[in-house]
Amino acid sequence: MSAYILKTTDKVPEPTLRRLPWYLSNARLMKERGERYASSTQLARQLGMDASQIAKDLSYVNVSGRPRVGYEVDELTEVLERFLGFTEMHTAFLFGVGSLGGALLADSGLKQFGLQIVAAFDINPKLVGTQINGIPIFHTDQFPQKFHEYGGIHIGVLTVPINIAQQVTDTMVSGGIKAVWNFTPYRICVPSGIVVQNTSLYAHLALIFNRLNLE
Amino acid sequence: MSAYILKTTDKVPEPTLRRLPWYLSNARLMKERGERYASSTQLARQLGMDASQIAKDLSYVNVSGRPRVGYEVDELTEVLERFLGFTEMHTAFLFGVGSLGGALLADSGLKQFGLQIVAAFDINPKLVGTQINGIPIFHTDQFPQKFHEYGGIHIGVLTVPINIAQQVTDTMVSGGIKAVWNFTPYRICVPSGIVVQNTSLYAHLALIFNRLNLE
């Protein structure tokens, strides 16, 4: 923690990327409480984790620690926010305005973390032409046209029924989408180079139910 | 796959539990298409996975495969639904009716997978006494009373701001909640025996942003 550690150009391991938001949360809270420095031992105590793990994770991020005092809380917060991509706004399209899709459109919290859903697509004639939370809903057939109109959209949020999950993914990818945030419990196939992040609430529910039964 | 494999009493590994919903999705689609049998090689092809991995995962579930034809699609669907806990209704309380919490209350899709949020808690006087999607919102102070009134609530959904995430978790656990579904990007601490499932949309977003930058 004593020396300036340069950001590596290596791919950051997924477990590290999953833990970094925890450090950011704690840094933000320390900042709120007016604390100036956070050492990895302090963070370790707060998080119930190993200090060496935290120091290792933070070595991927371009942040310097000072001997004995630790990381500057302001700097740690800013560097983590920037590193995690939360300071930059990323635009996205959402596919499938069902119950979960509609809920995500209504959740303006995503914007605070750098994701702005700018338009949604569905085939339901009752939804096409309407808006949720100010976000317009177009017919899925209009996707290629809207992709060019909006420009610079790389992320597609997938919240369709499982029976069309693959088909809609194919449409998204052939239309130019580079990353699919898959909320369906369906395992989608994509060409190499396309990013897929699975966030199946149902798989997480299954984990809870299973673990509860064992207690 | 030829013999009847009994459900083990071992703890099912988390990666297996994450994959089982994929097999269920595919079994449901095959059922819809009127297909009667699914072999693990067939599932492997559909899912782009290793057949031996699928057979191994399914060995945790009480389902029998027949030589050469595979699993019966109807049986596989039912057994997986039951095993994953989706056929039984689990009731839950939600804490924090902000943007994400409100969205989850509005998402009736969770009910199809065995989770029914029966009441929500918040301290905002504008929300207390109102309803979302027919679900009443009470003041957080009323939690102990409501916990006894409703009865049999084991799951708490955590969607509060990070600065009160630990405090609300402590309230939930001391009040009798056995499993916390944590949607905050804060790492909460719980006594042993309490189930925690982290579903941080923001951590998943960070993964997408990071991987997109590498492509």
Mean pLDDT by 10 residues, chain A (215 residues): 40 89 94 93 92 92 85 95 92 95 88 93 97 96 97 95 96 97 95 94 91 77
CA A206 to chain centre: 22
State phi, psi for B16 to the nearest 5 degrees. Answer: -65, -45
Average pLDDT for residues B87-116, to the nearest whole number? 91
Instruction: Identify which has the larger pLDDT, A11 or B8.
Output: A11
C-beta separation of A157 from A94 below 8 A: yes
* Residues with Cβ within 8 Å of residue B178, at least 6 apart in sequence: A212, A215, B154, B155, B194, B195
The reply to whether domains A14-84 and A90-204 share a CATH topology is no
Options 1.10.3720.10, 3.40.50.720, 2.40.110.10, 3.30.70.890; CATH for A90-204 is 3.40.50.720
Across chain B, mean pLDDT equals 90
**Segment B90-104, tens digit of pLDDT:** 999 999 999 889 989
Which of A10, A19, A33, A107 should be substituted to probe chain B, the one whose Cβ sees the most B Cβ atoms within 10 Å?
Answer: A107
* Residue with more model confidence, A110 or B30: B30
DSSP SS3 for B16: helix
The pLDDT value recorded for residue A215 is 59
Q: What whole-number distance in Å separates Cα of residue B105 and Cα of residue B135?
A: 7
Minimum mean pLDDT among A9-13, A135-139, B23-27, B60-64: which range? Answer: A9-13
pLDDT at A7: 41
Instruction: Give, in degrees to the nearest 5, the angle at Cα B151 between B146 and B152.
Output: 130
Alpha-carbon distances of A163 from A185, A187, A188, B24, B75, rounded to whole Å: 11, 11, 11, 12, 20
Residue of chain A minimizing CA distance to B90: A209
Q: Rounded to an integer, what distance in angstroms lies between the CA atom of residue B143 and that of residue B94?
A: 10
Residue to substitute from A205, A212, A215, interface B, most B β-carbons within 10 A: A205
Contact A215 B178 (CB under 8 A): yes
CA distances, A37 to each of A25, A71, A78, B98 (Å): 15, 6, 14, 30
Rounded to the nearest angstrom, the minimum Cα separation between B3 and chain A is 25
pLDDT band, very low/low/confident/very high, at B170 (cuts 50, 70, 90): very high
Which pLDDT belongs to residue B62?
82
Q: Match domain B14-84 to its CATH number in 3.40.50.150, 1.10.10.10, 3.40.605.10, 1.10.10.2120.
A: 1.10.10.10
pLDDT of B3 over the 80 cut: no
**Per-residue pLDDT, B64:** 82
pLDDT bucket at B1, cuts 50 / 70 / 90 = very low
CB contact under 8 A, B155 and A212: yes
Spans of all domains in chain B: 14-84, 90-204
pLDDT computed for residue B7 by the predictor: 41
* 8 Å CB contact between A80 and A61: yes
Nearest to B11 among A181, A193, A214 (CB): A214
Nearest to A25 among B22, B26, B185 (CB): B185
3-class secondary structure, B123: coil
Q: What is the DSSP string of B31-45?
A: HHTT--EE-HHHHHH
Check residue A84 and give its pLDDT.
92
pLDDT at residue B10 in the model: 56
